[in-house]
Amino acid sequence: MKVTLTQNSCVVEKESGDPHFSNGGYANAESTFLYHVKQELIKQGFDVIKKRMWKDGHMMDDMQQYLRTGKIRKGQPYMMIWNGHSGS
């Protein structure tokens, strides 16, 4: 899996040997996918966590998950990565 960050987007390219994510309910495919993206970003040196959006106070469905910077510090860059095609 190749993960590339730009100013406004995150591009994930599937490579041979990458797992297939199939949904069995409760957004488990998206959760597993985000886990693998998170692991790749950690390898690249980013401090990221996977979390449900509503737990951070976002008005989203309780199943919607995203990746964000682990500790957001004033004056420091941060990121949030989510599925823009979500049904929420």
Domain holding 38, by residue range, is: 2-82
User: Is residue 88, in this structure, part of any structural domain at all?
Assistant: no
Q: Is the pLDDT of residue 55 over 70?
A: yes
CA dist list (Å): 38 to 49, 59, 74: 7, 23, 23
Give the pLDDT band of residue 88 (cuts 50, 70, 90): very low
User: Is residue 69, in this structure, part of any structural domain at all?
Assistant: yes
User: Is residue 30, in this structure, part of any structural domain at all?
Assistant: yes
Q: Is the pLDDT of residue 50 over 90?
A: yes
pLDDT > 90 fraction of the chain, expressed in percent and rounded? 42
In the prediction, which pLDDT does 46 show? 92
Q: Is the pLDDT of residue 82 over 70?
A: yes
| Rounded average pLDDT over 25-35 | 83
Tokens encoding 15: 């490579």
Domain count, the chain: 1
Backbone angles phi, psi at 85, to 5 degrees: -100, 15
The alpha carbon dihedral of 55, 59, 63, 68 has a sign of negative
User: Is residue 87, in this structure, part of any structural domain at all?
Assistant: no
CB-CB contact of 86 with 64 (8 Å) = yes
How far apart CA 2 and CA 62 sit, in angstroms, is 28
In the prediction, which pLDDT does 13 show? 95
Pairing of strands 48-52, 65-69: antiparallel
In the prediction, which pLDDT does 26 show? 66
Nearest CA-CA partner of 64 in 49, 82, 45, 37: 82
| Rounded average pLDDT over 37-64 | 88
